[in-house]
Structure 1
Amino acid sequence: MKNFKYIVVFLIGLPFFAVGQTVLTLEEAIAITLENNFDLRIAKNEVKINEENVSLGNAGMLPRVNGVVTNNNTILNTKQTQSNGNEIEIDGAKNLNLNYGVGLEWTIFDGFSMFARHNQLKEIQKLGETELKLNVLAKVSEVYDTYYILVNQQHLIRSLDSIIAVSEFRLKTAQTRFTIGKASKLEVLNAEVDYNADVSAKIRLKEQYAISKIALNQLLVRPSETDFTVTDVILIDETLKLTDLLGLAQEQNPELQIQYINKKIQEYELKQVKAARYPSLSLSTGYNFIRSESPFGFITQTSGQNFNYGFTASINIFDGFNQNRNERTSKIQLENTQLQIDRQKQAVNAQISSFYQSYLSNLALLEMEQKNEKIARQNLEITLDKFKIGTISPVEFRTAQVNYANAVIRLTNAELLTKQTEISLKEIAGNLSF
């Protein structure tokens, strides 16, 4: 038993790796999520759709060519009386009118609306790409958060193992003392209650750990029962600066970038509305084949071809002041997009400033809890030595044990909270690594 405290210290520093379990690194978790996650795959397909829509034809710049076939047939019974008095009666007479050919229509000028539309389609493509980045950042942030929750829970389980080992030692000591008549049954019962409480706490924590694993497997689109363990280190970036984060956010925050793109889209929308003030010019041409058959008259069959061409020019002279109304409405919508940009800037700055204050506080708490955990561990080791030689009571020993357990919990929670605020800051700044 003289080496027991060294066993406890060893348990405290022992990585929580189960034999046979696959170690899933954070990088692997992110890579699997980016490849498999359903939301991201849907967002990627939306980007592909927007890419397909950026075309000259969709913008109205290319001509439209149509092939047309018209075939009209008539069957009738008729009786004709000619000028010379002769009568002709035909049953089941068939008339045929066949017309087929190709036609081309091409709007060659529409007040530059087609060019504005083409540029607008490009901005819509950029919008889809930026929305994809926003989704990626959100999912990666969720993976980060869930992963480090698992690391935190592994730390707590490992620490509980050392606490349980101490409680088990105390229980066996009490039972031995009771056997030789140096302790009462009450001491044994108290030790057993404390031991059971520690085991119960571990059972509850392992349940939370299992649920967190299921949540991460869901993000990775893997079977919920897939077993794994995570790495055992939480590295805190202590170099974040408020001014740098605010500057990065103005350039990289996806939600802010979306507002910028929406403004561009609305600017091109206004250009399309203004284009209605200009004249519109369209060209048209076609080539047709004609054939007709009739059993009546002097000409019973006709066939031919024709080529047609022309143009159409139009200009809006008066439309009940709708043009002016449409332009005013579009300008107001453009003004709203600028207001949305200003609002988003303020929201982003407020979010970063708020999280940064939490980040600084958590760093200070983390440093304090690291020192406190060392003190609590040292206190537990001294108390354990005194307990073994019988110079302190079981109550004092349990108090030192509980103090150390609480110190470990506060330290691991401080590590997790600090990492979570770091992740949130980088996500808002659009600078989260993945």
Structure 2
Amino acid sequence: MRSILIYLFACIGFTAGAQELLTVEEAVAIALKNNYEIRIAANELKIDEQNVSLANAGLLPSLSGTFTQDNQIQNSRQVRSDGTVQELDNALNNRMEYGINLGWTIFDGFGMFARYDQLKEFEDLGETELKLTVLNRVSDVMTTYFDIVQQQQVLKALDTAIVISNERVETAQNRFTIGKAAKLEVLNAQVDLNTDQTNFLRQKEQYQNTKTYLNELMARKLDTDFVVADSVIIDDRLKLVDLMSLADSQNPEIKIALINKRIAELNLKQVRANRYPQINVNTGYVITDAESSLGFARENYGRGFSYGVGASINIFNGFLQNRNEKIAKLQIDNSQLQIEQQKQTVNSQLMTAFQTYLTNLELVELEARNVEIAEENLDITMAKFRIGTITTLEVRTAQLNYINAMARNSSAQFQAKMSEVRLKELAGNIELE
């Protein structure tokens, strides 16, 4: 059995040497750089950063240039106070006005300051959402990567099954040739070989499809070929109390709930600002040039500064102010409830995932021992088969037990690693080791 495995691993190693060896760290790094969802979330954060400005909050004045020209052609008739009558058909009247105007809201009940703080909270929200996207995609990449590792191990197990089945066919054929076995034994061995080859092809198909999906997550050419590591390293030192402490301060979904509460509180300040007066100041420099075919002044030209101040206050709007404030307060209450709900949800998920993690760690040890037992059993069975003291059914049973043990061992390692990744994702801190 050991010689078969040495030969098999040597063949796989020679094949893998011609392909790119992709580590999980490299896969994550490529995804962080290329993944479309991460890049979109990063651009959304840049938009939020651009929105944080004094002007967007209404704290700065606005300066505008204006230009107006009116032309009129009229049939005019004017009667002056002394009884004189003037008439003119197609009288031309022109008026042109241009200048610069500045307007500034200097007080709006502190609403502009609340809007500016709210814009900064939206920036923090965008940053946290980016972190959440990164965590999710990194988790997806690691899950897919270690799934490929598992499938690669299963392929090795199925390849081993084919090698053993080939040996069975040759041994059965030799025994049939010298008259020590019936044709049925050869046929049974051939059927088992065909079954193993079918299972190998099905597993290879799934293996290739999963590699394509990992390339998709990394946003690179889908047909890029690679091989992954042949083993899984599991962090067995995780502690539930440490994970809960990390989640309370780092879990993005909890942080999003906290930010949404601060946004709701700032929204209440903006609503309350409507109770105060709004004061605006304005100034400008305007040039006016007018011409008239009739009237006392045929031409009118002027230029100069204008300035003023305006104030307004909401005295009564049908009790809408009270309604809006009550709604804003209820939104704050809901935000607090969402924080408590999110914390409870995360802690519940952590406790459930941690129990699964502990179970999977035990299964890893158990399945590793099962592989050793199944391998020893297969060695003994094959030795007895070669000297003809055991039936082909017993050989096939030992062979399937070994393959299943290897598959369960790979699955146990994969599930344990996924439990580890899930716990770190919930804690908001996926570290690569």
Per the normalisation by structure 1, the TM-score is: 0.95
Aligned to 2:4: 8
Shift of 1:13: 5.4
Aligned to 1:163: 161
Aligned to 1:332: 330
Q: 1:257 aligns with which of 255, 258, 261?
A: 255
- Match of 1:58, SS state, is helix
- Match of 1:245, SS state, is helix
| 2:360 aligned with 1:354 | no
Aligned to 1:416: 414
Aligned to 2:189: 191
Alignment of 1:225-374 (within 5 A): 225-374=223-372
Distance 1:412 1:81, change over 3 A: closer
- Match of 1:431, SS state, is coil
Shift of 1:76: 2.8
Aligned to 1:56: 54
Q: 2:66 aligns with which of 62, 65, 68?
A: 68
219-228 vs 53-62, which moves further? 219-228
- Match of 2:16, SS state, is coil
Q: Provide the C-alpha distance between the structure 2 equivalents of 1:318 and 1:373, rounded to a whole number of angstroms.
A: 81
Shift of 1:394: 1.8
In structure 1, what residue type is equivalent to 2:120? K
- Match of 1:57, SS state, is helix
Q: 1:93 aligns with which of 87, 91, 94?
A: 91
In structure 2, what residue type is equivalent to 1:191? A
Distance 1:356 1:82, change over 3 A: closer
Shift of 1:317: 2.7
Aligned to 1:151: 149
String of CA shifts for 1:121-145, please: whole Å, max 9, x gaps.
0000000110111111111100001
State the number of aligned residues: 430
Distance 1:431 1:386, change over 3 A: same
Q: State percent identity of aligned pairs.
A: 52
Shift of 1:221: 1.5
Shift of 1:93: 2.9
Q: 1:203 aligns with which of 195, 201, 204?
A: 201
String of CA shifts for 1:194-222, please: whole Å, max 9, x gaps.
11111111000000001101111111112
Tell me if structure 2 keeps the 8 A contact 1:12–1:159.
no
In structure 2, what residue type is equivalent to 1:10? I
Q: Provide the C-alpha distance between the structure 1 equivalents of 2:294 and 2:310, rounded to a whole number of angstroms.
A: 39
Shift of 1:433: 2.5
Q: Provide the C-alpha distance between the structure 2 equivalents of 1:82 and 1:314, rounded to a whole number of angstroms.
A: 42
Q: Provide the C-alpha distance between the structure 2 equivalents of 1:81 and 1:383, rounded to a whole number of angstroms.
A: 128
6-15 vs 247-256, which moves further? 6-15
In structure 2, what residue type is equivalent to 1:295? S
Tell me if structure 2 keeps the 8 A contact 1:67–1:102.
yes
| 2:110 aligned with 1:112 | yes
Shift of 1:224: 2.0
276-285 vs 162-171, which moves further? 276-285
In structure 2, what residue type is equivalent to 1:6? R
Shift of 1:383: 1.5
Aligned to 2:180: 182
String of CA shifts for 1:270-292, please: whole Å, max 9, x gaps.
11111122222211112111110
Aligned to 1:391: 389
| 2:121 aligned with 1:123 | yes
Q: Provide the C-alpha distance between the structure 2 equivalents of 1:308 and 1:162, rounded to a whole number of angstroms.
A: 93
Q: Provide the C-alpha distance between the structure 2 equivalents of 1:268 and 1:298, rounded to a whole number of angstroms.
A: 59
Distance 1:252 1:86, change over 3 A: closer
Q: Provide the C-alpha distance between the structure 2 equivalents of 1:85 and 1:352, rounded to a whole number of angstroms.
A: 97
In structure 2, what residue type is equivalent to 1:167? S
Alignment of 1:37-48 (within 5 A): 37-48=35-46
Q: Provide the C-alpha distance between the structure 2 equivalents of 1:380 and 1:109, rounded to a whole number of angstroms.
A: 86
Shift of 1:113: 0.9
Shift of 1:315: 2.5
String of CA shifts for 1:273-325, please: whole Å, max 9, x gaps.
11122222211112111110112234211101132212112233332222222
- Match of 1:238, SS state, is coil
Shift of 1:7: 2.0
Any gaps of 5 or more consecutive residues in structure 1?
Answer: none
| 2:126 aligned with 1:142 | no
Q: Provide the C-alpha distance between the structure 2 equivalents of 1:319 and 1:76, rounded to a whole number of angstroms.
A: 46
Aligned to 2:27: 29
String of CA shifts for 1:207-261, please: whole Å, max 9, x gaps.
0001101111111112222211112121101001110111111011111110000
Q: Provide the C-alpha distance between the structure 2 equivalents of 1:109 and 1:366, rounded to a whole number of angstroms.
A: 67
| 2:404 aligned with 1:402 | no
Q: Provide the C-alpha distance between the structure 2 equivalents of 1:302 and 1:87, rounded to a whole number of angstroms.
A: 22
298-307 vs 366-375, which moves further? 298-307
Q: Provide the C-alpha distance between the structure 1 equivalents of 2:346 and 2:252, rounded to a whole number of angstroms.
A: 10
Q: Provide the C-alpha distance between the structure 1 equivalents of 2:274 and 2:85, rounded to a whole number of angstroms.
A: 63
Q: Provide the C-alpha distance between the structure 2 equivalents of 1:77 and 1:119, rounded to a whole number of angstroms.
A: 60
In structure 2, what residue type is equivalent to 1:269? N
Distance 1:80 1:338, change over 3 A: closer
Tell me if structure 2 keeps the 8 A contact 1:372–1:407.
yes
Shift of 1:92: 3.7
In structure 2, what residue type is equivalent to 1:273? V
